Amino acid sequence: MESKVVDENEEGPVVPMRVDRFGFVKQEHGPTEGLARSRSAFEYQRDERRIRKWRKMIGVGGSDWKQYVRRKPHVVKRRIRKGIPDCLRGLVWQLISGSRDLLLLNPGVYEQLVIYETSASELDIIRDISRTFPSHVFFQQRHGPGQRSLYNVLKAYSVFDRDVGYVQGMGFVAGLLLLYMSEEDAFWLLVALLKGAVHTPMEGMYLVGLPLVQQYLFQFDHLVKEHMPKLGEHFAQEMINPSMYASQWFITVFSYSFPFHLALRIWDVFLFEGVKVVFKVGLALLKYCHDDLVKLPFEKLIHALRNFPEDAMNPDILLPMAFSIKVSKNLVELKQEYEQQRLKPPESPVKQ
């Protein structure tokens, strides 16, 4: 009987990857949230009812959306806060952001930007592509369809708006959009966000010096002190400021390092209600962990603020807490205060 010679270069059996329901490769001993599991008959029927309600609200291809929002804005708001069904998320995001209108008004523009224009940011985009959602199957393959689509969207935007060009945090925003829609749709949603088709333009978060991020961090710092004075005082004693932990919350709208199932629920509300939900979620996180945070010294505090516990990331607990926090009036007042401070001439040194 011949013995089989084993070729060391011969590939062994392919081990299937464990992938969660969103397409992220799971660690062997990682958290189980998002893993596909068999749904009960009750859950299946409940989800089907929700999807039917949403389809009726949207109409074919979104034809009834605007009329429904005008007639029943409170119903729309309540349903969005409960979470948009995943199978309809891409379409609804385009409808609530105003990007569908931009797409229809600008036929052929995206193709022109991708094929015929060149960008000064191309090398920077290529360098960063592999850092965007590296554990998602769509973006894992080097030069694969996901990375090519992400490159095209970011390159097109850097040409479309040369003042902004490309900034690294934009990759996570564009990457998130591409998981739910085509390249062209993702591009126009990026335009809608940065140019402010519905809400405050985001472009100031990506301009040189990140001026809008600086404003948001100023506002957030004051909100922490107002809503949680004990924690605000502890942060001051330990010399902790929001730039040390919250910048990415605003720049990527929680898509950078937060669990994907939570990021999606935040994005549902963000696209409909605007940036105030980022402040609300940030405050809710600190409030949820308040009693632990006030006891920690500087180094452990920094670590905790960048690594919230898994139970704090449950959207069904965190988001109702966030929605109960009122910030709109304060944000207006704090924006005025921030702008007044910026306009003040620097104080001249006191002569001895």
Q: Which domains does the chain have, with CATH numbers?
A: 102-200 (1.10.8.270), 209-341 (1.10.472.80)
Q: Is the pLDDT of residue 325 over 90?
A: yes
CA distances 297 to 223, 224, 293, 308, Å, are: 22, 18, 9, 16
Tens digits of residue pLDDT in 159-206: 999 999 999 889 999 999 999 999 999 999 999 999 998 999 999 999
Determine the Cα–Cα distance for residues 316 and 320; give it in Å rounded to an integer.
7
What are the tens digits of pLDDT across the range 109-136?
999 999 999 999 999 999 999 999 999 9
Residue 303's nearest CA partner among 290, 293, 288 is 293
Q: Are 177 and 210 in contact (CB under 8 A)?
A: no
With cut-offs at 50, 70 and 90, classify the pLDDT of residue 349: low
Give the H or E element holding residue 153.
helix 145-160
Overall size of the chain counted in residues: 352
Residue 326 is predicted with a pLDDT of 96
For 229-255, give one letter per residue: b (16+ CB within 10 A) or e.
eebbebbeebebebeebbbbbbbbbbb
Dihedral pair phi/psi, residue 169, rounded to 5°: -60, -20
